[in-house]
Amino acid sequence: MAASTVDTFLPEALQFRSPTTLVDIGANLTHESFDRDLEDVIARAQAAQVNTMIVTGTDLSHAEQAIELARRFPGLYATAGVHPHDASAWNAELAGKMAALHAQPEVVAVGECGLDFNRNFSTPKEQEQAFEAQLGLAAESGLPLFLHERDAGSRMREMLAAWRDDISNAVIHCFTADRETLHGYLNLDLHIGLTGWICDERRGHHLRPLVKDIPLARLMVETDCPYLLPRNLPAKLKGRRHEPALLPWIVREIAQWRGVSEAELASATTQTAQRFFRLPTES
Ligand SMILES: [Zn+2]
C-alpha cells in the first residue's frame, strides 16, 4: 500500500526537513491512532530530522506502553505520570507503581502531571493531591517534571514554589497562558514547552509577542501529537492526525516570532532538551 511508505503518506508539500536535529518533547505515540503505522511515523520523523521523541505517559498503562516503545525504538524515551484528568485514580498502590517506573532507565521525567481546572474531569482537590504526591516522587527520584496546566496558573505556581528547592527541574508543556503566568513560571526557573498552538490564528495570537520573553536556554518544542495539528501547514492532511515529522513547521513559526533563524532555534531547543532530560548528546 502506498500509505505505508515514508515518502507517500505525508503530502510532499508537508515534508520539511529541519536544518538540524530536533527533539519532540511531547509525543503521545501510545495513542491508538498510531497503532497501525507507528514504524512509518517514526521513520518519517527521522527523515524530517526529528530524531528524538519523548513519549508522554499519562497514566499507569500508557506509561508502561511508553517505556515499551522506548525499548523498541532508538531515540525514543518515556515519561511516567498521572494526568490531572485521571487524578481521581491516585492512591498509595499507584504511587508505588509509578515510583518503580521512575527507576527504569527509559524514563526521563515524572509526568505528565499537574492541574487542569478547565475541564475538572477529576475534582480540583483530587488533582492537587495527585500532583502533590508526584512532586514528592520527582523530589525522591531526582527526575525533572513534565507538567500540564490549564486555567490553574496561580495554584500551580504556589505548589511549585513550595517544592522548588526539592525538585531538579520542570517544564510547563504546551504553554498557552498569559504573560503574567509565563513570567511567574520563568521566575521559578522553569522551562517552557511550545506546541503548534502558536500557529493557530484564532486562539494562539496572544502567544506570539510572548515568545521573545522566553530565554532560548529554557525553551523546548513539541507536537503533542496526535492532537493540535498546526494551522500553518501549506497543504491539507487527510485524517488531521498530527505527528512528529511536522515539528519543523512549528519551529519555523516560533523562530519567526522569536526573531531568530530556524537553524538557531532548532539547535538551541535541542541542546536545551538534551540537558533538561539528560539525553545522550549524539541522539
Ligand atoms: Zn497536556
Residue 221 contacts residue 244 (beta carbons within 8 Å)? no
Long-range contacts of 207-212 (CB under 8 A, 24+ apart): 207/175, 207/176, 207/257, 208/257, 209/257, 210/178, 210/179, 210/182, 211/254, 211/257, 211/258, 212/257, 212/258, 212/259
Distance 174 CA to ligand 1 centre (A): 6
**What pLDDT was estimated at residue 128?**
98
Which residue, chain included where needed, has cell 517544564? 171
Query: How close is the Cα of 31 to the center of ligand 1, in Å?
Result: 14
How far away, in angstroms, is 21 Cα from ligand 1 center?
24
Average pLDDT over residues 179-190: 97
Q: Considering the chain, what is the average pLDDT of its residues?
A: 94
Task: Indicate if the pLDDT at residue 1 is higher than 90.
Answer: no
- Please tell me whether 106 is known to bind a ligand: no
Q: What is the pTM of this model?
A: 0.95
Q: Which residues 6+ apart lie within 8 Å of 189 measured at CB?
A: 164
Distance of CA 63 to the CA centre of its chain: 14
- CA 172 to ligand 1 center in whole angstroms: 9
Distance 161 CA to ligand 1 centre (A): 20
Residue type, 44: R
Q: How far is CA 17 from CA 20, 116, 125, 146, in A?
A: 8, 34, 44, 27
Percent of the chain surpassing pLDDT 90? 89
Cell reading at 125: 482537590
pLDDT at 14: 92
Distance 134 CA to ligand 1 centre (A): 15
pLDDT of 4 higher than 70 = no
Beta carbons within 10 angstroms of residue 215's beta carbon: 12
Give me the mean pLDDT over the 71-95 stretch: 98
* Grid coordinates belonging to 26: 511531547
Count of residues in the chain: 283
Is residue 57 within 8 A of residue 106, CB to CB? The reply is no
What are the grid coordinates assigned to 86, written together?
Answer: 485521571
Q: Is 191 within any annotated ligand binding site?
A: no
108 has a pLDDT exceeding 90: yes
96 CA distance to ligand 1 middle (Å): 23
DSSP 203: T
The H or E element containing residue 266 is helix 262-276
Nearest-angstrom CA–CA distance, 231 and 61: 31
Please report the pLDDT score of residue 282 as a whole number.
62
Q: Is 183 annotated as a binding residue?
A: no
189 carries a ligand binding annotation: no
Residues 217, 175: Cα–Cα separation, whole Å? 16
Q: Which domains does the chain have, with CATH numbers?
A: 2-276 (3.20.20.140)
Question: What is the H or E stretch that residue 252 is in?
Answer: helix 247-258
- Does pLDDT of 5 surpass 80? no
Listed in sequence order, the residues at least 6 apart from 76 whose beta carbon sits closer than 8 Å to its beta carbon are 29, 42, 52, 53, 54, 55, 69, 70
Compute the distance from residue 5 Cα to the ligand 1 centre, in Å: 30
Residue 135 pLDDT > 80: yes
CA 7 / ligand 1 centre spacing (Å): 30
Question: Maximum CA pair distance of the chain?
Answer: 55
Dist. CA 270 → ligand 1 center (Å): 20
Kindly report, residue by residue over 14-32, the tens digit of the pLDDT: 999 999 999 999 999 999 9
The alpha carbon of 110 and the centre of ligand 1 are apart by a number of angstroms equal to 13
Question: Residue range 99-127: average pLDDT?
Answer: 97
Spacing, Cα 185 to ligand 1 middle (Å):
16
Average pLDDT over residues 53-57: 98
pLDDT, mean of residues 149-164: 97
Residue 112 CA, ligand 1 centroid: distance in Å: 7
pLDDT at 85 over 70: yes
Among 98, 21, 19, which residue's Cα sits nearest to residue 66?
Answer: 98
Q: Kindly report, residue by residue over 185-228, the tens digit of the pLDDT.
A: 999 999 999 999 999 988 888 999 999 999 999 999 999 999 99
Question: Separation of 150 CA from ligand 1 center, angstroms?
Answer: 8
